[in-house]
Chain A
Amino acid sequence: MAELWSLIILNPVLNGLIALSGLLPREVQFGLAIIILTIVVRLILTPLTLRQLRSTKAMQDMQPKMQELQKKYARNKQKLQQETMKVYKEAGVNPIGCMWPMLVQFPVWIALYQSIMKALATTPENLLDLSRHLYSWQIISQALPLNSHFLWLDLGQPDSFFILAILVGGSMWVQQKMSTAPSTDPRQQSTSSTMQIMMPFMFGLFCLMFPSGLALYWLVSNIITIATQYFITGGWGYLKSPFPMQSGSRRMS
């Protein structure tokens, strides 16, 4: 299974990343390659991302109706289920429709993550392991070993200035704030508020532990998600206005 994963997904992404590095100026090769590859992968996956965003948006738009149904059929679970499915059907929304595009993208994210970690090869064991995944292309052999310096960063080490940690945490907070609809249910609202703080905080901490190459990938990925959300769902979403649902849904339709 691991070999199949390497053959089909990991090796093409890894070799693509290194070959791309070989085409770029050596001073900034790997940092720029991470940025470009992240953008390229996100572009390829755009149809799936759009589908996911639209499904999520449609689900959020249906929330007031769902809450009404929950109140109405609080004591009859079977009826609630039937009515919920009916509403989904009328709106033409598949409740798991927003999940599968994310699931399809997941292996690509993992491969990108693994490729960055492998390509950096900061220890002799990592470098040996890298040799098992490489194609015999001339451009790859000439690109190795990759120059891990980019701007103020050593991409193989955590950012000692904490700049990336702040940027990753901040961009993740913005991204979540833009897309998470405020809930009228206090419990649900409390959960989403906790998540909006915990996730950026955690990723900020990860940036202090993981190689900054990975943090750079998270940052670029977050920025692309913010941009996509901005242009697809129209504006800053829930970041600026706590209840822009109606205007947002009008723009969507």
Chain B
Amino acid sequence: MKNRILICLSILCFLVLASGGCVGGQQKPVGFSGVTAYDGILYLGSTDGKVMAVNPSARDQNLEFPSSSDGEWSYAITMLSKGISCGSSSVSVSIYGIPVMVNGLLCVGTYNGKALMMSPSARSQNSDFPQARSGEWAYPRTDDVIAPIVGSPVAIGDTIYICSSDGRVYALDATYGDERWKSEPLGGKLWITPVVEQETVYVSTFDGHIYALSTEDGSLLPWAFEAAAGFVSSPALYDDTIFVGSFDRNLYAVRIGDNEPLWTFPGGNWFWAAPVVKDGVVYAGCLDGKVYALNSKTGNKLWEFNAGSPIVSSPALTDESLVVACDSGDVYIVNIKTGIGARVKNPDDSQNVDRPTIDAHIQGSLCILDGIVYIRAQDNCLYAVDVGKVKRGWKFPLTIK
């Protein structure tokens, strides 16, 4: 009897742990894709591995999803599971980056190591992927994959630049998905979105380098910057200066060509989100819960706004306001001149309870379209927040069969 109990307990224990084994025993990568807008349609990745096109006006009217006449569609990306206990079942993939629109097609990088180009018309008809006639492709073409893609693709001309966890930058032909070049491994994982300007690709690496690569063939250009600690955020480029957050809790400003930083600014934790730069001011969200406005030339602090919870997603700018979303789910509209912010209230708040603006973590990048900021939260819902009225609008669940 005792033997049977022991064996049953062992099998139960094995099954519980084996279910975790499908993702290599690690915490499952969920993904925190941001939102992008093109021609009035929002494009985003969901936490259950779908790429979706959402029309805000159809959501305003609460139409059934997908409203194909309004350009809406949803496509689930799956991969074959390699877990011991999962056999050959297909599981959904995770999406971290922001989809990018290239010549009317949507490019997405996935955590299972694929770059996909999707045609909205083919996806709205739910055709098999890829439809080559519609310009769709997958890189790599076969069942092969590259290392996980976390950052967003960047499209310049007819080339897509995308970084991968194998430390390489890939340049792909936007029309056919052919590999134009791939760089040498640059030091650790590249979980970033590269910056491309004037025939140069700039990347910041986990091992503390900023590299410049030729857009022509991916070769390293003579200039590289080396810091004592690794870089955690994606770089932002403004006025020949790269702004990037480091594991040493500093925000670095590095002039291209220099070996010493122009300035560094210390935060209370990592600057995880890529900073946003406009009119000589760097707006940087920090995991210490604050947003800092800094002079881009000197690094002097103009103001700071305490949001009270780690800021994972990059803030979004309008003409007068900075929209800041924190991990706790609170959303603030901050005046970019004064640094004074107002919290967007949760419409479900009762008189005595102040709940976060959104009852879920916010980690994906925000998107502003016609004065409305769209936020995809970790509860797999898309939220609309009216910046002018400082008011939360509709909530749209993305978990749709």
By a beta-carbon cutoff of 8 Å, the part of chain A in contact with chain B is: 117, 120, 122-129, 131-132, 136, 138, 141-142, 144-145, 156-158, 187, 190-191, 194-195, 198, 202, 205-206, 208-211, 214
- Decide if A198 touches B229 in the complex (CB within 8 Å): no
Chain B hits for A141, CB < 8 A: 229, 246-249
- Decide if B3 touches A210 in the complex (CB within 8 Å): no
Would you give the 0/1 interface string for B9-27, flagging 1 where the beta carbon is closer than 8 Å to chain A?
Answer: 0100110011011001111
Interface of A is mostly: helix
Given the contacts A124-B96, A141-B229, A158 and B10 also touching, CB distance less than 8 Å: no
Q: Which of B25, B28, B32, B310 contacts A132 (CB 8 A)?
A: B310
CB-CB nearest in chain A for B165: A122
What are some 29 contacts across the A-B interface (CB < 8 A)? A120-B26, A122-B24, A124-B29, A124-B150, A125-B27, A125-B29, A125-B30, A127-B232, A128-B363, A131-B287, A141-B246, A144-B229, A145-B206, A156-B26, A158-B25, A187-B2, A191-B2, A191-B3, A194-B7, A198-B6, A202-B10, A202-B13, A202-B14, A209-B17, A209-B20, A209-B21, A209-B25, A209-B84, A210-B17
Q: Which residues of B270-327 are within 8 A (CB) of A?
A: 270, 272, 287, 310, 312
Q: A129-B27, A214-B25 are in contact. List 4 more A-B contacts (CB 8 A).
A: A141-B246, A142-B229, A202-B10, A210-B17
Chain A hits for B120, CB < 8 A: none
CB-CB nearest in chain B for A209: B21
**Is B188 an interface position by the 8 A CB rule?**
yes
Q: Which of A131, A145, A187 contacts B230 (CB 8 A)?
A: A145
Question: Which of A117, A125, A214 has the most chain B CB atoms closer than 10 A to its own CB?
Answer: A125
For the complex, give the distance between the alpha carbons of A97 and B131 in Å: 70
**Is B191 an interface position by the 8 A CB rule?**
yes
For the complex, give the distance between the alpha carbons of A144 and B26 in Å: 19
Q: How far is the CB of A38 from chain B (nearest CB, A)?
A: 19
Size bracket of the B interface = 35 or more
- Decide if B206 touches A131 in the complex (CB within 8 Å): no
- Decide if B247 touches A209 in the complex (CB within 8 Å): no
- Interface contacts (Cβ under 8 Å), in number, total 94
For the complex, give the distance between the alpha carbons of A132 and B84 in Å: 32
Chain A hits for B121, CB < 8 A: none
Chain B hits for A132, CB < 8 A: 287, 310
Q: Which of A123, A128, A145, A210 contacts B312 (CB 8 A)?
A: A128
For the complex, give the distance between the alpha carbons of A136 and B248 in Å: 8
Chain A hits for B269, CB < 8 A: 131
- Decide if A136 touches B24 in the complex (CB within 8 Å): no
**Is B228 an interface position by the 8 A CB rule?**
yes
Chain A hits for B270, CB < 8 A: 131
CB-CB nearest in chain A for B363: A128
For the complex, give the distance between the alpha carbons of A198 and B84 in Å: 19
For the complex, give the distance between the alpha carbons of A138 and B310 in Å: 21
- Decide if B26 touches A123 in the complex (CB within 8 Å): yes
Chain A hits for B191, CB < 8 A: 124
Q: How far is the CB of A24 from chain B (nearest CB, A)?
A: 16
Chain B hits for A129, CB < 8 A: 27
For the complex, give the distance between the alpha carbons of A81 and B232 in Å: 63
For the complex, give the distance between the alpha carbons of A175 and B65 in Å: 60
Chain A hits for B310, CB < 8 A: 128, 131-132
For the complex, give the distance between the alpha carbons of A129 and B29 in Å: 12
- Decide if B10 touches A142 in the complex (CB within 8 Å): no
Chain A hits for B29, CB < 8 A: 123-125
Ordered nearest first, which 5 A-B pairs have the shortest CB separation? Answer: A209-B21, A210-B25, A141-B248, A123-B29, A144-B247
- Decide if A211 touches B188 in the complex (CB within 8 Å): no
Chain A hits for B96, CB < 8 A: 124
Q: How far is the CB of A180 from chain B (nearest CB, A)?
A: 14
Chain B hits for A127, CB < 8 A: 232
Chain A hits for B10, CB < 8 A: 198, 202
Chain B hits for A128, CB < 8 A: 272, 287, 310, 312, 363
